[in-house]
């Protein structure tokens, strides 16, 4: 049994789960009584291979055979549980058997709650634990970081150090995720300094997390520098670099690095493809987009919801709404992101009625819209002059879906009124806004003033824009063009002189 256990552990570390099962099966048919440690080794093998189904099945088999799972079996099965109800059942079992007092089991239970978004339960368990090791602290820090609460993650690591425990590579990775969430380059650099001091930068997990942090914080130079120093580049580091370049506007460099990644023999994933499709959307490179589409078909990523939604957006932004709709119709499943993508696609291509029809279909399928969906809906109303319908959708946001309208929604509404020539009503609407109007809102009205050659109102609105955004050259240009149209060349000269002075 000891030899079999060692073999299962060795095969599991090599990722060969078939050989693990073969050794385990031979022990079962041998007629000898199997120890709980052998069950635990096999369960750990399933957990390491992320086979949640077989892990849970084997845990149940242990119970059915009248054996009591030990802390290793319990921790292993918890590591692959991502359903809160099942986590609660195993938690109850651990409390009854006394296993919940073990630090590894308590940490694993807390992690399940964190993964499921129940941070209060996770933290309550963490606070009440008799013993807390680095793994337990890191689990809780990661929970806060992954769920958009970076300040709590930073506070926790300070308490951890106060108790005499030093962060390990996993802790640093979680903290760098927290820095990415709050876009804190300063804190990220402090953690980088800590990693250098304790010779952790060379660790693949820390290096990849640093690349991701610098990319998310917009420091692509540092991201490249860390990436180039990494002894081994894994999938996460490549993905972080490429998506960071893409999202920070370095489109050509992102595409070059993508080709380098392929040369390295690494497979593309949905994260990289979605980022690059976003680049191609902004550049309207539809032919290159089609090549990426073909690549997703070859790799099977076309069925990934994130990639599918990105393809819908890419085709629509390139003006090819027909192919956008074809991709949408081929999606095996749809969510609010994919529906929003097709609604926005129709809206931005001037097919507002089709956009609103898609919105109604979305509601019929019981998919609840979010704030971004309503931007697409209001844009559709704007492009079709549906003023009263736009008012109705704006009211519906908070009334029916508890979504508070933001600046983008109010700007869309001003655009609806402006395109319809209802400029005075638009001014009253802005004055009655519950939020302070920004340059986007006033700039939208300025565009309508230019369209309808309302110079007097245009001057007032332009001043509002320039108060909020003095460097907005568009306001100067709009005002200059309106003055030129009515032959007021004195104002044109004065405005251009102001631009030159600026």
Q: Specify the CATH number for 431-502; select among 1.10.101, 2.10.260, 1.25.40, 1.20.1730.
A: 1.25.40
What residue spans define the domains of the chain? 143-232, 247-333, 335-405, 431-502
Residue range 195-204, pLDDT digits in tens: 999 999 889 8
Arithmetic mean of pLDDT, 426-448: 92
Q: What is the pLDDT of residue 346?
A: 95
Q: What is the pLDDT of residue 501?
A: 54
Q: Which two tokens stand for residue 187?
A: 């804190």
Q: In the structure, what pLDDT confidence band is assigned to residue 476 with cuts at 50, 70 and 90?
A: low
Q: Residue 438: is it exposed, middle or buried by C-beta count within 10 angstroms (0-12/13-18/19+)?
A: middle
Residue range 118-130, pLDDT digits in tens: 999 999 999 999 8
Q: In the structure, what pLDDT confidence band is assigned to residue 474 with cuts at 50, 70 and 90?
A: low
Q: In the structure, what pLDDT confidence band is assigned to residue 441 with cuts at 50, 70 and 90?
A: very high
Q: What is the pLDDT of residue 23?
A: 92
Q: Which two tokens stand for residue 320?
A: 């090819």
Q: What is the pLDDT of residue 425?
A: 95
For residue 187, pLDDT over 80 is answered with yes
pTM, to two decimals: 0.68
Q: Please report, to the nearest 10 degrees, the dihedral formed by the alpha carbons of residues 119, 125, 128, 133 taken in order.
A: -100
Give the contacts of 190 (CB within 8 A, at least 6 positions apart).
none
Residue range 347-405, pLDDT digits in tens: 999 999 999 999 999 999 999 999 999 999 999 999 889 999 999 999 999 999 999 99
Q: What is the pLDDT of residue 110?
A: 95
Q: Which two tokens stand for residue 345?
A: 């696609």
Distance, CA of 75 to CA of 60 (rounded, Å): 14
SS3 232: coil
Q: What is the pLDDT of residue 259?
A: 84
Q: What is the pLDDT of residue 30?
A: 80
For residue 21, pLDDT over 60 is answered with yes
Distance, CA of 404 to CA of 475 (rounded, Å): 29
Mean pLDDT rounded to a whole number for the chain: 89
The backbone region for 368, taken as left when phi is positive above 0, alpha when psi lies in -120 to 50, beta otherwise, is beta
């Amino acid at each position: 049994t000891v030899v079999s256990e060692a073999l299962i552990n060795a095969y599991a570390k090599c990722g060969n789960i078939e050989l693990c099962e073969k050794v385990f099966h031979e022990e079962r048919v041998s007629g000898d009584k199997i120890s709980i440690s052998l069950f635990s080794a096999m369960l750990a093998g399933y957990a390491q291979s992320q086979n949640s189904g077989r892990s849970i099945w084997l845990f149940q088999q242990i119970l059915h055979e009248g054996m009591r799972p030990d802390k290793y079996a319990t921790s292993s099965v918890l590591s692959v549980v991502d359903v809160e109800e099942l986590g609660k059942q195993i938690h109850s079992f651990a409390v009854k058997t006394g296993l919940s007092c073990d630090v590894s089991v308590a940490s694993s239970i807390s992690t399940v709650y964190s993964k499921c978004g129940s941070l209060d339960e996770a933290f309550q368990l963490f606070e009440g634990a008799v013993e807390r090791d680095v793994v337990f602290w890191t689990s809780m820090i990661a929970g806060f970081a992954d769920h958009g609460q970076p300040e709590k993650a930073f506070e926790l690591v300070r308490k951890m150090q106060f108790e005499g425990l030093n962060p390990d590579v996993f802790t640093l990775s979680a903290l760098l995720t927290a820095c990415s969430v709050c876009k804190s380059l300063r804190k990220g650099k402090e953690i980088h300094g800590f990693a250098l001091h304790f010779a952790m930068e060379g660790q693949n997990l820390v290096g990849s997390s640093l690349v991701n942090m610098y990319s998310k914080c917009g420091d692509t130079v540092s991201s490249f520098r860390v990436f180039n120093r990494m002894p081994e580049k894994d999938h996460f580091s490549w993905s972080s670099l490429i998506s960071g370049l893409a999202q920070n506007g370095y489109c050509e460099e992102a595409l070059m690095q993508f080709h380098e990644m392929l040369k390295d023999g690494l497979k593309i994933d949905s994260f990289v493809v979605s980022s690059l499709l976003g680049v191609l959307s902004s550049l309207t490179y539809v032919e290159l987009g089609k090549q990426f589409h073909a690549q997703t078909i070859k790799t099977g990523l076309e069925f990934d919801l994130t990639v599918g939604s990105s393809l819908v957006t890419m085709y629509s932004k390139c003006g090819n709404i027909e192919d956008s709709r074809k991709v949408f119709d081929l999606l095996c499943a749809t969510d609010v992101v994919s529906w929003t993508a097709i609604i926005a696609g129709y809206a931005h291509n001037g097919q507002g009625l089709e956009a609103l029809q898609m919105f109604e279909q979305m509601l019929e399928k019981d998919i609840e819209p979010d704030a971004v969906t309503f931007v697409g809906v209001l844009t559709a109303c704007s492009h079709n002059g549906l003023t009263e319908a736009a008012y109705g959708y704006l009211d519906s946001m908070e009334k029916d879906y508890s979504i508070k309208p933001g600046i983008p929604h109010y700007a869309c509404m001003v655009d609806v009124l402006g395109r319809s020539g209802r400029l005075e009503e638009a001014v009253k609407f802005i004055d009655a806004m519950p939020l302070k109007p920004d340059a986007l809102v006033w700039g939208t009205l300025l565009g309508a003033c230019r369209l309808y050659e309302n110079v007097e109102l245009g001057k007032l609105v332009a001043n509002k824009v320039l108060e909020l955004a003095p460097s907005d050259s568009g306001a100067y240009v709009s005002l200059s063009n309106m003055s030129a149209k009515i032959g007021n060349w004195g104002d044109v000269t004065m405005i251009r002189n102001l631009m030159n002075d600026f």
